[in-house]
Structure 1
Amino acid sequence: MNVRVKKQGLYDPRFEHDACGIGAVVNITGRRDHSIIEYGKQILQNLRHRGAAGSDNVTGDGAGILFQVPHEFFTEECDKIGFTLPDRGKYGVALVFGAQNSALSDKCHKILTGAIEHYDMKILGWRDVPV
């Protein structure tokens, strides 16, 4: 059966195209549930054959999971390093892969800070991710 859906509301079929692989798991009520993350991890494993891993079989292409900000976790972590977060839903979190070279890292911090301030936002703090 080949049915073409017509343009309606925000949907426009001109934006339809093949994707190399995508998976989505959501709770449409917005309820937080760890099982959604587990399902997301399974999707990533199932998409491995679609190129989600580098040719060296160690690195990846950046495929990942988008999930709600774990407010309690970030509150605890930020308390440890000396700054307080606003209420849940009143802030965002960015993961930035920085340069190993400290001069280049400083330059990247300045560029990122400038871009954020340009949009009338502010950086509350920085945290090195433990590895």
Structure 2
Amino acid sequence: MLFNKNLEKDNCGYGLICNRNGKPSRKVVEKSIDALSSMAHRGGVGFDGKTGDGSGLLFDINKDFYKKTIKSELSIALPEEFAIGCFFSKKGLKDKLQSDLKRFLNLKILK
């Protein structure tokens, strides 16, 4: 058998809601959350009905806020170019993941 519908998974694409002038807007966030929650199959429930599928909202970051906060809270001056990441791993792999990120990508990890 070449096709078994029970083994197939769906990925139906993405939605985009934005403010074309680039200004932050609570209305855009509220509409985005509403749109995401209206699509249960993409709104955080995986094909098995038990796990999340990684859907969510993507935001621009306020670099000035991060620079100011990191400087005052951790006494670290961030460079002009920096990135913020959120990583997920299997239990027990946190230390290895952090070590690999530091070594291979020359990253400084702030906790």
TM-score if structure 1 supplies the norm length? 0.58
Which structure has the higher relative contact order (CA within 8 Å, separation 6+)?
1
CA-to-partner distance for each residue in 1:71-96, whole Å, 9 max, x for gaps? Answer: 35433542313322345xx3221111
What is the CA distance between 1:64 and its match in structure 2?
1.0
Number of residue pairs the alignment of both structures matches: 99
Unaligned runs of 5+ in 2: 1-9
- RMSD of the TM alignment (CA)? 2.8
For the Cα contact (< 8 Å) 2:43–2:56, is it kept in 1?
Answer: no
**Which residue in 1 is equivalent to 2:6?**
none
Match of 1:93 among 81, 84, 91: 84
1:116 to 93, 101, 105: 105
User: Aligned partners of 2:42, 2:89: CA distance in 1, in Å?
Assistant: 28
Q: Residues 31 and 23 of structure 1: is their aligned pair in 2 closer, same or farther, counting only changes over 3 Å?
A: same
Match of 1:3 in 2: none
Q: 1:52–1:62: 8 Å Cα contact kept in structure 2?
A: yes
In structure 2, relative to structure 1, the CA distance for the partners of 1:34 and 1:74 (3 Å cut) is farther
Give 1:19-38 correspondences, 5 Å limit. 20-38=12-30
Taking only the aligned residue pairs, the percentage that are identical comes to 27
Per the TM alignment, residue 99 of structure 1 is displaced from its structure 2 partner at its CA by: 5.1
- What is the TM-score when the length of structure 2 is the normalising length? 0.65
Could you tell me which amino acid in structure 1 is paired with residue 78 of structure 2?
L
Structure 1 counterpart of 2:16, one-letter code: A
Give the deviation of 1:41 after TM superposition: 1.2
Structure 1 runs not aligned, ≥5 long: 1-17, 118-122
- Structure 2 distance, partners of 1:116, 1:38, is 36
Take 1:29 and 1:65, find their aligned partners in 2: how far apart are those partners?
Answer: 18
Per-residue CA deviation, residues 92-121 of structure 1 (Å, 9 max, x unaligned), is: 2111125543xx32211121223323xxxx
